[in-house]
Every structure is written in structure tokens, then in C-alpha cells.
Structure 1
């Protein structure tokens, strides 16, 4: 009998949660075939078998926590499985005293359950949607989806559940008039839903609290006149797309501006290790991306060596992988500084929380047209303005440096030629 164990994942990851099994007991599998999906603190990982054979036993249920090295399944040789399958068939004729109805009962559920699992495997759904469906006892094949690619998402499962339970909710008031006193608790139960936090959400919550408890976090603000950047984008966007096959967005400008400012204020590209400061002379910029499971921060490696097009392509690919839940651990590890853009959701002003152990994070916000004074003659014009925020660890970054860092970012964005020279 061969034992299948949870493999080594990464130095910082020692456990995970079984999101779903992709095989069942009795299935014949090949070496390298995926047998389960494991949800970790950072990404979902496929567990593959190192051997060929037949699944004899699954030792964990979906939703169970497992640790690295733990045995989660047992694998036997195909011949052994066939022999074990034959045994019950030989014993059946001997059981003459047993009622004939019993074998029939045993025979019917197996194909039905098998058929259900096969149909489920054909449904394309996000891990979050599969987990929600398991919690609510919903067959994913019955769920209608709105995704043009045919992918079932969490909101589809929730909408199906509401539709499914609507008739039951309508029946409850009819039974309650005779017992008004007992109606109150039942009504309260329907107004509260208890949802178990996913492992990733628990990790996000833990890290955010740790950041606030560990770092001496402070935030400083400024505003940027986006006229020059928007002018460059409007003039160059078509030629840029034709040449590079990717749109010219704001993130490449901000990434270049941040790198230019980090070169002038290197303590914001550092971290604290014990009583030492670790200065990083490379620029791996984390870009926060919102997903169904929560915020993740994939990293653009050596962003200072990339062109505007290179940065846009890398951010686009990482964003797609994040939304498809296909980020690898290497996509998330490291990072020297982070940029987060709350403006895509309409945020006007916010204080971003540090992505520890980094000591700096830049917050972008929505662009809003506002009247501003544009010259020494007090001329007022309506300009596209953006508030930017820098949260920093005051233990090693002084307020003066933080303010000047943000001013440098502002200067580089308001003068794209200077930004190109600096980049």
C-alpha cells in the first residue's frame, strides 16, 4: 500500500485545507495526476500523485485542515483493487438468508453517486464557488451562471440558493399565526447567516492585525495633477497598443514614479530584521489585486528594468492569474514595496495598511475633476486630480523622508519627461 502525503509547499507554508478531491475511492490514476486541490494561506495548490495505482482510501474530507507530511490517501496496485472488488461478488451468493432487497439497495446508490460526481467534475467553477456549494448542499450542475466563459462563481451559487429556498420561506408565515410566541426565534434564525472564513481570509485578517501591532504605522497624503499623464495616454494609447499589444494604463506611470522616488529615499525600500535594517538594492513592486477570496499582492520582479509596456504586460498577466486563482507561490513571495489602487472602486481617500515586512505602501485613488490654482497669478482651472497616500513604518522612516518621497512621486507624475529620464 502506497501512502500519498501532503508535499512540501514553501518555507512559510506548513499546512492547508482540502478544498476538493478530484478523485474518489476505486479510481485508477496515473503518476503525475492531480488528486486534490489544497487551499493554503496564499494560493491553491494541486496535489499530484507520485505513483500510478488505484485509490484505496481517502483519509481527509473537503474542509479538513492538513499539515505537510500528513498521509491523506492510500494507493494500491490495480490488480489488488480488482481482487478486492471481486470478493464481495463471490460472497453475495452465500448470503442466502439475507433479504434480496439488501443487495439491490447497495447496488443502486453507487452508480447514482458516481454519475453525480462525474457530472460535477464537468462543471467549471471557482474554488470559492465549489466551497460555497458544498456548505449549502447545492449541486453545481443545477446552478445557472452569468460568466460568458461558463465559469460558476460564488454569487451564482448564492443566487441559486435564494431561489431554491424562496418557497420554504413563504411557507413559514402560514404556520406561525397559531403560535406567535414561537415565531420570533425562527425569524431571528433566518436573519443571521454564519459563514466559516476561508483559510486565505483568515490569513489576510491575521496579517493586517499583525501589521498594525508590529509597525509604527503612519500615513501622509498629497495630491497629483493627472493632466500631463492623461495627455500622454490620450496621444500615445493607440500607437502604444498597436506596437505592444497591451493598453497603456496608469499603473506603469505610478510604478516608474515609485521606483524613481525609492532610489532617492532607499529606506522605503527596506525592512527591519531584529536590530538591523536590510536595504534592498532591487525593485520588486507588489501590486494589490482584489479577488473573490480577498486581496492578493503578486509581485512585478525587477520592475526598474522593465519598459512601460513590460510593466503593463506583467501586471495584466498577474492580475488575470489572480482572478483565475492560478497564481503560484513564486508570484507572491518577496516584494520590496507595494502599490494599491482603491480608485478603481471609487475610493477618494484612504490609509493603506503596510504589507509587512515591507515598510512602505502607496495608495492610489479615484481621479476627480476639481478647481485648483495653477500659477502664480492665482489662475483657477478645473483639473483631473488624484489624492495619493503613503503609509510607512515610522521606526526607520522619518516623517521628513516620507513627505519628500510622496512629493517626488508627485513631481515625476506631473512631469512625464522627468519620469522617463528617471525611469
Structure 2
């Protein structure tokens, strides 16, 4: 017998949730074959088997929490494969077996039929559909499939959920959450990632002296530059010239001038980092994630845009690896893509600074005493930990970014 245990995942990850068993009790697995999907605080990980054999026990059910080192399954290494070769052997045994009474059931066939019936009870569904249904507390057997072959897809679950919300069924809830008589409510269990996000945001608010300062940037020069260069840029690099590369470059230049914003507190010491791994907040389906653009100070505009596009796609398709999320020194978040005009971003601990971008909006700006012009303006916000960053430094940092973006040629001079 062999034990399948939860391996060391990453320095900051000590536990996870069984998201889905990819193999069931009785299934034969090859060495290296994936058997379970584990949902952690940051990413979903598929764990494989170090042994070949038949799964005879699963120690945990889907939705249960497991810790690093826990035994989650038992494999019988002497168990036979259920592949074609094994089926041929089984047929030979049936042929050579003694004659049975005419009405006596074939025990092996009965077991096979029962196994098939058990499989049929579990509807065919994509992993994304199973995951969403599990999070929303839905039974896949209740969800109609559009697919002619009966496969339930994520959009089927979403459509079913939308219909349920539009015509909610009253649900009785015990305790303070109970509503008035027969008032419709929906109770959802928070995903592990959402629980972690909530926990860490509260920790940041409680353990830091967070303060936010604001400014506004006239993006006329950046927009003119993008308009002139965007076609040539796309033809040469096969990626679009966006705003994020400009803001990333300006942020790195400002961090070099104000290094305490690229630091963190460790006990009574300050760790001032002389590298610039900039986290870019991305709104994924299960919540905000912050993949990291490594060595942003050494990368060109095109390399930054390609990194951001790749990381965003990974986030949308749930393919981010742990290494994509670890070790950022400063974070940029862009609420403007959702229409936010102004907000106060919360620090991404243990970092001590986060830059918030917002919606670009035409506003009348005084050019001088006589003239007014409509300019594309963006409010920007810098949240910082006041324990190590003073107000003067924070305001100067944001002013530096403003100066660089209002005259983007300076970004070249800043290197």
C-alpha cells in the first residue's frame, strides 16, 4: 500500500481545499498521472501520483481542507490495471470459468454494470463547470446542457444560476442571516481564494498605517504618442502599445528616486529592495490576483506589454503558476478599466506602496489665465505605509510620475 500525501507547495502555502477528485476509488492510476485538483490561496494545482496502482481509499472529500503532509489517498500497488490488456485477461477468465446455472448472475458482470451505473450518475461536465457549480452549491444533475452530447459547460451553469437569481426559491437559514417570512435569499460559501483575500485585506488595514495621496495627470502627450506609434509598434512587436507600459516605466523611475516605497518592514529592519518586480493587479473570475512583471527596470515598453498580456491571459484561464505571483516589490492597479473615477487602493502586503490608476475623462483645464482646453485627465492615487514613508516622500513620488507621463520623452532619459 502507498500513501499519496500533499507535497510542499510553496513557502507561503500550508494548506488547500480539495477542489475535484480527477480519479475515483477503484480507478487505476499510472505513476505521474494527475489524481486531484487542489485549490490554494493563490492558484489551483493538480497533484499527481508517485505510484502506479488502484485507488482504494480517499481520505478527504471535495470541499474539505487539507494541509501539507496530509495523506489524502491510499493506493494498492498490486491492483490491476483496467486497461485493454486487463479486460482481455478478464474475458479469458470468464471463458475458462466453470459453467454457471442458466439463471445465475455473472458476479463480475454485475459488478461492472454497477460501476457503469455509478459513473452514469455523475454527469459529464467540464472542470470549470464542476468548480463553479460546487462554489454556488448547485447539483450538476439539475443543470440542463446545451451540448447535444450532454456535456455541461460553464455557460450552462451560469445560465442556470442567472435563472435561479431571477426566480429565487425561498430558503430557510438559521441564525442572524435569516430573512423575514419567505423572503428570498441566496447563501454562497466563500471560495478559499476569496476567504484569503478578505483575511489579508483586513490584516493590512489592522497592521499598517495606511494613508492615500492623490494627484491628476494630463495624458495628452501619452495619447498623442500612442496614436502616432501604435501601428508601427504593433507591426514590429505583435502587441499593442497600452498605458500600462508607460505607467510601469514611470513607476520604476520614481521608485529609484524614492527607494522607501520599494521596501518592506521586517521586524525592526527595513528591507530596501534594489530590484523592481512590479505587480499588476488583474481581476480574475475568483477574485483579484497580482501577477508580477519581473525586472521591469530592464525591460522595454514592448517586453512589458507582452508580459502583462501573457499574465492577464493566464489569470483569465486560471493558468497562473505560483512563481507568477510571488515576490513583487510594488503594485499597480487599474480600476479605470471598470469605470472607476477615483478610489483608495489597499496595500498588497508586505509591500508598502500601491499605485491606483483610474478612468481617463475629458475635463476642462486652465492652460493659462486666458485659455481653457478639454484634456484627457486621470486621477491617480498612491496608498502607502506611513510607518516608513513620509507624506512629503509620497507626494513627491506621485508628482514625479505625473511629470514623467506629461512629458513621456523623459521616460527615455530615465532609462
- TM-score tier by shorter-chain length is 0.7 to 0.9
Count of residue pairs the alignment pairs up: 393
What is the rounded CA distance, in whole Å, between the counterparts of 2:406 and 2:153 in structure 1? 43
Structure 1 residue 124, shift from structure 2 partner: 5.3
Which SS does the other structure have where 1:319 is aligned?
helix
For the pair 1:318 / 2:311, whether they are aligned, the reply is yes
Q: Match for residue 418 of structure 1?
A: 410
Q: Match for residue 137 of structure 1?
A: 139
- Please show how residues 28-177 of structure 1 align to structure 2 within 5 Å: 28-79=28-79, 109-115=114-120, 117=122, 119-120=124-125, 123=126, 125=128, 128-132=131-135, 135-139=137-141, 142-144=144-146, 152-153=153-154, 156-161=156-161, 163=163
For the pair 1:390 / 2:382, whether they are aligned, the reply is yes
Structure 1 residue runs of 5 or longer lacking an equivalent are 173-183
For residues 165 and 407 of structure 1, do their structure 2 counterparts lie closer, same or farther at Cα, with a shift above 3 Å needed?
A: closer
Q: Match for residue 235 of structure 1?
A: 228
Structure 1 residue 139, shift from structure 2 partner: 4.0
What is the rounded CA distance, in whole Å, between the counterparts of 2:72 and 2:233 in structure 1? 51
The one of 182, 187, 192 aligned to 1:187: 182
Q: Match for residue 283 of structure 1?
A: 276
Q: Which moved more, 1:317-326 or 1:157-166?
A: 157-166
* 2:212–2:344 CA contact under 8 A, matched in 1: yes
Q: How big is each residue's C-alpha offset from its partner over 1:227-250, in whole Å with a ceiling of 9 and x where there is no partner?
A: 011111111111000000100000
What is the rounded CA distance, in whole Å, between the counterparts of 1:380 and 1:185 in structure 2? 56
For the pair 1:255 / 2:248, whether they are aligned, the reply is yes
* TM norm structure 2: 0.86
Which SS does the other structure have where 1:236 is aligned?
helix
What is the rounded CA distance, in whole Å, between the counterparts of 1:265 and 1:152 in structure 2? 49
For residues 403 and 162 of structure 1, do their structure 2 counterparts lie closer, same or farther at Cα, with a shift above 3 Å needed?
A: closer
Q: How big is each residue's C-alpha offset from its partner over 1:372-407, in whole Å with a ceiling of 9 and x where there is no partner?
A: 0123x4411000000000000000100000000000
Q: How big is each residue's C-alpha offset from its partner over 1:26-53, in whole Å with a ceiling of 9 and x where there is no partner?
A: 2121111110100001111111111111
Which SS does the other structure have where 2:45 is aligned?
strand
* 2:123–2:141 CA contact under 8 A, matched in 1: no
For residues 144 and 231 of structure 1, do their structure 2 counterparts lie closer, same or farther at Cα, with a shift above 3 Å needed?
A: farther
For residues 398 and 12 of structure 1, do their structure 2 counterparts lie closer, same or farther at Cα, with a shift above 3 Å needed?
A: same
* 2:281–2:291 CA contact under 8 A, matched in 1: yes
For residues 140 and 260 of structure 1, do their structure 2 counterparts lie closer, same or farther at Cα, with a shift above 3 Å needed?
A: farther
* TM norm structure 1: 0.85
* 1:124–1:151 CA contact under 8 A, matched in 2: no
Which SS does the other structure have where 1:268 is aligned?
helix
What is the rounded CA distance, in whole Å, between the counterparts of 1:166 and 1:215 in structure 2? 42
Structure 1 residue 330, shift from structure 2 partner: 0.7
Q: How big is each residue's C-alpha offset from its partner over 1:83-123, in whole Å with a ceiling of 9 and x where there is no partner?
A: 9xx9xx9xxx9xx9xx98x9999775531222454833xx3
For residues 378 and 260 of structure 1, do their structure 2 counterparts lie closer, same or farther at Cα, with a shift above 3 Å needed?
A: farther
Structure 1 residue 187, shift from structure 2 partner: 2.1
Q: Match for residue 181 of structure 1?
A: none
What is the rounded CA distance, in whole Å, between the counterparts of 1:374 and 1:7 in structure 2? 62
RMSD: 3.3
What is the rounded CA distance, in whole Å, between the counterparts of 1:356 and 1:151 in structure 2? 39
Structure 2 residue runs of 5 or longer lacking an equivalent are 171-178
What is the rounded CA distance, in whole Å, between the counterparts of 1:52 and 1:105 in structure 2? 26
* 1:258–1:409 CA contact under 8 A, matched in 2: yes
For residues 275 and 144 of structure 1, do their structure 2 counterparts lie closer, same or farther at Cα, with a shift above 3 Å needed?
A: farther
For residues 313 and 166 of structure 1, do their structure 2 counterparts lie closer, same or farther at Cα, with a shift above 3 Å needed?
A: closer
For the pair 1:305 / 2:298, whether they are aligned, the reply is yes
Structure 1 residue 12, shift from structure 2 partner: 1.1
For the pair 1:342 / 2:335, whether they are aligned, the reply is yes
For residues 152 and 367 of structure 1, do their structure 2 counterparts lie closer, same or farther at Cα, with a shift above 3 Å needed?
A: farther
For residues 126 and 136 of structure 1, do their structure 2 counterparts lie closer, same or farther at Cα, with a shift above 3 Å needed?
A: closer
The one of 232, 239, 260 aligned to 1:267: 260
Which SS does the other structure have where 1:372 is aligned?
strand
What is the rounded CA distance, in whole Å, between the counterparts of 1:348 and 1:44 in structure 2? 33
Q: Which moved more, 1:348-357 or 1:159-168?
A: 159-168
* 1:366–1:386 CA contact under 8 A, matched in 2: yes
Q: Match for residue 5 of structure 2?
A: 5
Which SS does the other structure have where 2:303 is aligned?
helix
* 2:145–2:152 CA contact under 8 A, matched in 1: no
Structure 1 residue 152, shift from structure 2 partner: 3.8
What is the rounded CA distance, in whole Å, between the counterparts of 1:411 and 1:127 in structure 2? 50
Which SS does the other structure have where 2:342 is aligned?
coil
- Please show how residues 341-420 of structure 1 align to structure 2 within 5 Å: 341-375=334-368, 377-420=369-412
* 1:19–1:127 CA contact under 8 A, matched in 2: no
For residues 127 and 385 of structure 1, do their structure 2 counterparts lie closer, same or farther at Cα, with a shift above 3 Å needed?
A: farther
